[in-house]
Amino acid sequence: MKAFGGSAFFIDRDDINTDEIIPAKYLTEITKRALQPHLLEDLFLDGKEFDTQADDFQQASVLVTRSNFGCGSSREHAVWALEVNDINVVLGESFARIFRQNMFNCGILAVELSKADIDKLFALAQGDGTIKIGIELDKDTVVAENGKGEKVECSFSMNPFDKELVAAGGWLAYADQKY
Partner 1 sequence: MGQTIAEKIFAAHLRDTPTPENMVLDIDVIMCHEITTPIAIMDLVDKGMDRVIDPKRIKAVIDHVTPAKDSKTATQAKIMRDWARRHKIKDFFDVGRNGVCHALFPEKGFIRPGNTVIMGDSHTCTHGAFGAFAAGVGTTDLEVGILKGVCAFRKPKSMKIEVTGTLPIGVYAKDVILKIIKQLTVNGATDMVMEFCGPVVEQMDMSSRMTLCNMSVEAGATSGLCLPDKVTAEYLWPFIQEDYASLEDAVEDFSTWHSDPDAEYAETLTIDVSDLRPQVTYDYKPDKVKDIDDLAGARIDQVYIGSCTNGRIEDIRAAASILRGRTIADTVRGILTPATPAIYSQALDEGLIKIFMDAGFCVLNPTCGACLGMSSGVLAEGESCASTTNRNFNGRMGKGGMVHLMSPLCAAAAAVTGEITDPAQFIN
- Asked if 140 touches partner 1 (CB under 8 A), the answer is no
Is residue 17 close enough to count as binding partner 1 by CB under 8 A? yes
* Piece in contact with partner 1 (CB under 8 A), picked from 3-11, 101-109, 112-120, 126-134: 101-109
> What pairs with residue 9 in β-bridges?
63
Residue type (1 letter), 57: F
- The yes or no reply on residue 75 touching partner 1 (CB under 8 A) is yes
Asked if residue 106 binds partner 1 (CB under 8 A), the reply is yes
Residue 29 makes contact with partner 1 by CB under 8 A: yes
Q: Which of 61, 65, 88, 105 binds partner 1 (CB under 8 A)?
A: 105
Q: In angstroms, give the least distance from the CB of 111 to partner 1.
A: 16
44: contact with partner 1 by CB under 8 A: yes
Q: What per-residue string of b and e applies to 95-112 under the rule 16 or more CB within 10 Å gives b?
A: bbebbbbbbbbbbbbbbb
E strand or H helix at 174 = helix 171-178
Contacts of 151 (CB under 8 A, 6+ apart): 143, 144, 145
175 SS3 class: helix
- How far apart are CB 100 and partner 1 at their closest, in Å? 9
Longest dimension (CA), the chain: 50
Q: Which of 89, 106 has the CB closer to partner 1?
A: 106
Q: How many helices (H) and strands (E) does the chain have?
A: 7, 9
**Site residue total, partner 1 (CB under 8 A):** 42
| 100: nearest Cα among 64, 70, 62, 135 | 70
Q: Which residues sit at the interface with partner 1, rule CB under 8 A?
A: 15, 17, 19-20, 23-25, 27-30, 32, 42, 44, 67-68, 71-76, 79, 94, 96-98, 101-102, 105-106, 159-161, 164, 170-172, 175-176, 178-179
